[in-house]
Amino acid sequence: MTTAKMAVSSRTNSTSRSIGGGIVNGILYAVLIIASVVQILPLVWLLFFSLKNNQEVFNLPPFSLPTKLRWENYESVWSQGNISKYFINSVWITVVSVALTILLASFVTFAITRMKWKLRPFVLGLFMVGMMIPVHSTLIPLFNLFQKLHLTDNQASLVLSYTAFNLPITIMILLGFYYALPREVEEAAVMDGCSVNRVFFQIVLPMTASVIVTAAIINMIYNWNEFIFVNTFISSDNLKTLTVGVQNFVGQYTTNWGAIGATLMISILPILLAFFLLSNRIVEGIAAGSVKG
Amino acid sequence: MKRKMLAACTLILALVLVVTACGSGSNNGKKNSSPSSSDSGASKSSDEKITLKLMHLWPDGSNSAQNKVIKQIIEEYQNANPNVTIKTEVLENEQYKSKLKVLSASNDLPDVGFTWAAGFMEPYVKGNMFTSLDDLLQGDLKDKFVAGTTDGYAFDGKTYGLPVELNIVPVYYNKEIFAQNNLQPPQTLDDLKNIIKTLNDKGVTPITLGAKDAWTASFWYMYLVDRFGGPDLLDKSIASNTFSDPSLIEAAKQAQELVDMKAFVKGFNGLSNDEAKSEFMNGKAAMYAMGTWEVPNYTTNPDVPQEFKDKIGYFKFPTVSGGKGDVSDWVGGVGVGLFVSEKSKYKDEAKKFVSFFVQKWGEHSVTDAGIIPATKVDTTTVKLPQMFIDLLNELNTAKKVTLYADVQMKPVASEEHHNLVQALFGKAVTPEEFAKKQEDVLKAGK
Amino acid sequence: MEKVMSNKGIIALYVLPSLLLIIAIIYLPIVLTGYYGLMQWDGISPMTFIGLENYSTLLHDEKFWSSVYHSFLFAVLSTVFLSVYMAVALVLSGNIRGANLFRKIYLLPMLLSSVAIAQLWLKIYHPTTGILNDFLTSLGVKETPEWLADPSIVLGALFVPILWQYAGFYILIYYAAFKNIPASLIEAARIDGASPIQIALRIKIPLISEVIKVTIVLAVVGSLKYFDLIYVMTDGGPNGASEVMASYMYHKAFRGFEFGYGSAIGFFLLLICLVATWGIRKLTETKDSIQYS
């Protein structure tokens, strides 16, 4: 569907395109391509040295592969320690926190942008200030709190913290889109006697699908990679997450670049996969949105 | 409407504050009272199920040797004491320090854990977080430790920690590189300088150093201080909060002279110790000064190729002509040591475990992990690699082992020492400024 | 409409759970941080009340002010770079072939954890075996820079990976915002004979002003409290040359055993962020009113 749309629009463009436009386009493409090379090169390098041994890392040019790819780097990393356990923990904590954050943030953003109440600016302010506190000054008070709630060494403490700390930024991302969203549909729905809950769940939430996916990706990245809270609130090894594992592993191989590369690759693969799956949803969401608009 | 919401919000805020504030009060009360009541009970009824928490800093990933020894000791202890379960929590170094702090602020230290000596543990001892282990030193563990190794854990005559590691800092060197350039291990600082010149001319990195971890550069400075000013100068200077002795400044000058000669690996101030180490392990640098905890890499570690191990030797830090230091003065000392929490519910059990741990560690650590324990080792009964035996002998015949400067200093001064050493080696301060600033922060007494 | 949209029960239902969560998990620590800031406390022994002494020490702490300077430098730079990201997003949103792929590539670095990014860039910057100095050597540079050891360039060397990491994040947000602009508006302008640049400057950018404001606040606040990469890559060194506010706070509170003083820094950091946000809001207020009218 998107390709069809693109083809249509490029055809309409081409009629008005001059030779000068072609040159500009060429330059634009060059810039875009250079930028993507800069963004992707270090990762390619990472992939390459994860398949080499030390000799090859130091003696071959950085962007060449050895004749024999050393997949055993991956095998040796994967066979060590608790990786599968860490992996499952990371997945479910990330999923639950992201879902909770998005739902709560959408509620709040809806109430702030659509509903009428006097304390809106104050409450919005409360959420925004939450972004500004440096994580490390919260560690001791938060540990105290969870201790009192008997939630230390319990993954609920992570879900609650991730949700709370991601709410402000999520609300902030949603806010701009809610303001820009046309209100006519909702107003009509309310006139027809639709309840607020139905307006929210059946009209507004679907309309914000694209930004929700954006916010979800951002949330996901934060939660997946977080380790300070994990190390502080969780003490049992089988409750910890993948970043902690990566941290512990990287230390071991300080002299073995191949193994470091393999560890890092393993830690980013799942999120990479999730990203490519979800990211297509954004495009669909955006396309759907723009058709409506 | 507005007022109601505001009222509701303030009410909630107030509630949260009250609940947590009350919580802290009552909880602390419980915590403080329960240990004393269960303390006596715990030791009597040995059938009672007990869980001891142990926190250590050797993750399976990065320090698998130590990790395995600890697991083994725990298993042995649990088998011998079926009513005791030992729950471990493992964090890497920096995270470990942070968590220890959070836990002590929340009155929730593990029953048994590891601490660094002297300056690091002082706040914990003053804050009444660690319990005295003198009864163990008088009892089970009497005469087990190498003389003087528990001193760093003692405050006002009581000992609050028991060391598990004892290290000195030799300079390891790559014999192959030395042979290729017709070099001999240096006897004097001038010899060392000649070696540096020769190697630089040949395009070989003379010394690798990871001064992002500033304590590694501190080794070099400490040795220079010792060789110029004699074995007691640094200890005295730190203890008396004065840092103006001419030898201290001379040592700083020499350190900068080495930097000027390009003695150290390029960009050393931005390299971590691990990165610097890999230069040595890859045969790209000729010398590396590091604690004896590195020795397994040159002897027993199966992951390191034998041909590399065969190339590595060590020498003692060279002397300077006219200096007061002796070649048998070492930088080094105890590493981490075990503590028992003052707030532990099962203090007696915890102490029993610590005593067991120290003894077993003494047996296992050398043979299984290649770590020199702080307890006495009988080298005649265990088979050890030659480098180990040599270094153990060095340790036994050492004239003086000066404890790491950053460990000797209190936390704030220690942090600043790190900064200043980086500044000195990065030539951001003059030797005089270096000494002056070090003195200022020592005088501040924090 | 009015009545339905000011239903107190629903407002409470939508807002209170989130509000409670952030009060417990964010505000409680904020309040306590402020409280600890008035204490002399090593985090272990009983605390002593010293009033504003920590803050007066702070005012004369040269190292603190140099960390403030570094943080602000970084905030300004991040904000300036927003315009670059916006330009990229503008181009991408203009029905360009392969936009989808470019956008994904740009976001890739964001997927990596700070631990992984730090490891990667440490290897890039490595003075002897790093890919960057390799490259410079091949160009014939004799004295290659010591990126992370030279106090005069270390800060710049650290900003690059951080900008690299977050580029995709902002591009994604701008891209989604541009895509949400109703196509009819742009089509109308095009029919009126507006050039693509005019359309961008007069229509597209003003229309997403709310999103732009959000990103400026995000960039500034994010930079002011930035910690991760700096902590792993240089730990604020050499000799404080790359120390920022958050790392300074961490060093004081967790390494130096001055938890009271560290808390004061944390609280001060919060205040600075608040003032900065307020300032940004003030500066951008005029556009705001256009948007809502």
- Which residues on A lie below 8 Å from C13 (Cβ)? 107
- Are A147 and B106 an interchain contact pair (Cβ–Cβ within 8 Å)? yes
Q: Which chains are within 8 Å of A by 3+ CB pairs?
A: B, C
Question: What is the pLDDT confidence band of residue A211, given thresholds at 50, 70 and 90?
Answer: confident
Q: How many alpha carbons fall within 13 Å on the CB side of residue B171?
A: 25
- What 3-state class would DSSP assign to B341? strand
Question: What is the pLDDT confidence band of residue A252, given thresholds at 50, 70 and 90?
Answer: low
pLDDT of residue C284: 80
Most confident option among A183-192, A196-205, B299-308, C31-40: C31-40
Question: In C, residues 84-123, which contact A (CB 8 Å cutoff)?
Answer: 88, 91-92, 95-97, 100, 102-116, 119-121, 123
> What is the rounded average pLDDT of the residues A193-200?
87
Higher pLDDT, A6 or B352: B352
Domains B44-165+335-377 and B168-332+393-443 share a fold: yes
User: A with B: how many residue pairs have Cβ under 8 Å apart?
Assistant: 86
pLDDT of residue A116: 86
Work out the end-to-end distance of chain C between its first and last CA atoms, rounded to an integer number of angstroms.
20
Question: In C, residues 24-53, which contact A (CB 8 Å cutoff)?
Answer: 24-30, 32-33, 36, 43
Task: Let me know if domain B44-165+335-377 sits in CATH 3.40.50.170.
Answer: no
- Are A172 and C218 an interchain contact pair (Cβ–Cβ within 8 Å)? yes
pLDDT of residue B263: 95
Phi and psi for C251 in degrees, rounded to 5?
-60, -45
Residues B73, B77, B83: CA angle, nearest 5 degrees: 150
- Which residues on A lie below 8 Å from C259 (Cβ)? 140
Q: Supply B115's token pair.
A: 């601490």
Residue in A254, A263, A264, A267 to test binding to B, most B beta-carbons within 10 Å: A254
Residue C262 touches partner A, C-beta closer than 8 Å: yes
- Are B270 and C20 an interchain contact pair (Cβ–Cβ within 8 Å)? no
Residue B22, CA distances (Å) to A147, B14, B34, C29 in order = 13, 12, 18, 16
> What mean pLDDT value characterizes chain C?
87
User: B with C: how many residue pairs have Cβ under 8 Å apart?
Assistant: 120
Q: Over the stretch C120-171, which tens digit does the pLDDT of each residue have?
A: 888 889 888 888 888 899 898 888 899 999 999 999 999 999 998 888 889 8
pLDDT of residue A23: 80
* Sheet hosting strand B329-334, strand order edge to edge: B166-168, B329-334, B400-403
pLDDT of residue B28: 39
Q: Which of C28, C154, C239 sits opposite B16 (nearest CB)?
A: C28
> What is the rounded average pLDDT of the residues A178-191?
82
Inter-axis angle of helices C62-93 and C99-107, nearest 10: 160
Block residue for tokens 């004065």: B242
- Are C221 and A131 an interchain contact pair (Cβ–Cβ within 8 Å)? yes
- Residues C232/B75, Cβ–Cβ less than 8 Å: no
CATH 1.10.3720.10 in chain A is located at 81-252
- Are C149 and B269 an interchain contact pair (Cβ–Cβ within 8 Å)? yes
Q: What residue spans define the domains of chain B?
A: 44-165+335-377, 168-332+393-443
- Residues A33/C115, Cβ–Cβ less than 8 Å: no
pLDDT of residue C196: 82
Question: In A, residues 63-102, which contact C (CB 8 Å cutoff)?
Answer: none
For the question of whether the overall pTM of this predicted structure is more than 0.95, the answer is no
CATH of C62-292, one of 3.40.50.720, 1.10.3720.10, 3.90.1150.10, 3.40.50.2000: 1.10.3720.10
pLDDT of residue B42: 42
The hierarchical CATH code for the domain A81-252 is: 1.10.3720.10
> What is the rounded average pLDDT of the residues C62-66?
93
- Are A164 and C24 an interchain contact pair (Cβ–Cβ within 8 Å)? yes
446 residues of chain B, pLDDT tens digit each: 444 444 444 444 444 444 444 334 333 333 333 343 344 444 444 567 899 999 998 877 667 778 888 999 999 999 999 999 999 998 887 788 888 988 888 888 999 999 998 888 988 998 889 999 998 888 888 888 887 888 889 999 899 999 988 899 999 999 999 999 999 999 999 999 999 999 999 999 999 999 999 999 999 999 999 999 999 999 999 999 999 999 999 999 999 999 999 999 999 999 988 888 888 988 889 999 999 888 888 888 777 889 999 999 999 999 998 899 999 999 998 888 999 999 899 999 999 999 999 988 888 888 777 788 888 877 677 778 888 889 888 888 888 889 999 989 988 899 899 999 999 999 999 999 999 999 999 998 77
Phi and psi for B325 in degrees, rounded to 5?
-85, 155
| Residue A68 distance to chain C (closest CA, Å) | 22
- Residues C288/A179, Cβ–Cβ less than 8 Å: no
User: Cβ neighbours of residue C233 under 8 Å, at least 6 residues apart?
Assistant: C118, C121, C122, C148, C158, C161
The answer on pLDDT for A9 being more than 60 is no
pLDDT of residue A278: 72
pLDDT of residue A80: 67
Provide ipTM, 2 decimals: 0.82
Residues C157, C158, C163: CA angle, nearest 5 degrees: 105
Phi and psi for B315 in degrees, rounded to 5?
-135, 160
Nearest by Cα to B169 from B24, B333, B399: B333
pLDDT of residue B22: 39
The answer on pLDDT for C246 being more than 80 is yes
Nearest residue in B to A58, CA atom: B282
Sign of CA dihedral B364, B368, B373, B379: positive
Q: Which chains are within 8 Å of C by 3+ CB pairs?
A: A, B
Q: What residue spans define the domains of chain C?
A: 62-292
Residue C16 touches partner A, C-beta closer than 8 Å: no
- Residues A70/A53, Cβ–Cβ less than 8 Å: yes
pLDDT of residue B33: 38
CATH of B168-332+393-443, one of 3.10.129.10, 3.30.420.280, 3.40.190.10, 3.40.1050.10: 3.40.190.10
pLDDT of residue B2: 46
